[in-house]
Structures are given as structure tokens and as C-alpha cells.
């Protein structure tokens, strides 16, 4: 089971960077297994680099700061 509060805390820090570039990420769901579902918004929505942002940015940050088994998935 993952620490959902810690995930939310890390996401808030990541969102600051996204917002600085005109985008954002809305937390949709965190499962007990560590699947984090996000909805990308603003400049991030439809951006060709959005999958890299999800995997190399957000997911990596969550794995480093919360738990290595976390997976980030985009929902539309």
C-alpha cells in the first residue's frame, strides 16, 4: 500500500513546474497498488511531449520520493 498523502505532496511540487509552462495536472485517482491517474490540462493537454512529462517527470519524481513501484497513467 502506498502513502497517498505523500503522493499528493510530491504532485503539488511537480504541478508548480507544469503551471509555470502554462499546463497543469489534475489528480483523478490513486489506487492502493500505486497507480496514479492524472488528467493533463492547459498547455500539457495534447502536447506532443506529454507522455515524456508523465513518465520521465512526474512518475520518476514519485518513484524517487515515495515508492519505486508507482505507475502514472493519463486519463482523458
Percent residues over pLDDT 90 in the chain: 91
The pLDDT confidence band at residue 46, using thresholds 50, 70 and 90, is confident
Average pLDDT over the chain, rounded to whole? 94
Q: What is the pTM of this model?
A: 0.91
> How many domains is the chain partitioned into structurally?
1
CATH of the domain at 26: 3.30.300.130
Mean pLDDT on 14-21: 94
Across 1-5, 33-37, 55-59, 72-76, least confident range: 1-5
Cα separation, 27 vs 38, whole angstroms: 5
> Residue 49 sits in which domain range?
4-74
Amino acid at each position: 500500500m502506498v502513502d497517498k498523502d505523500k503522493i499528493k505532496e510530491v504532485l503539488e511540487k511537480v504541478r508548480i513546474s507544469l503551471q509555470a509552462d502554462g499546463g497543469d495536472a489534475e489528480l483523478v485517482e490513486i489506487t492502493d497498488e500505486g497507480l496514479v491517474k492524472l488528467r493533463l490540462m492547459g498547455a500539457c493537454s495534447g502536447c506532443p511531449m506529454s507522455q515524456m512529462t508523465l513518465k520521465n517527470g512526474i512518475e520518476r519524481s514519485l518513484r524517487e520520493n515515495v515508492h519505486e513501484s508507482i505507475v502514472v497513467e493519463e486519463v482523458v
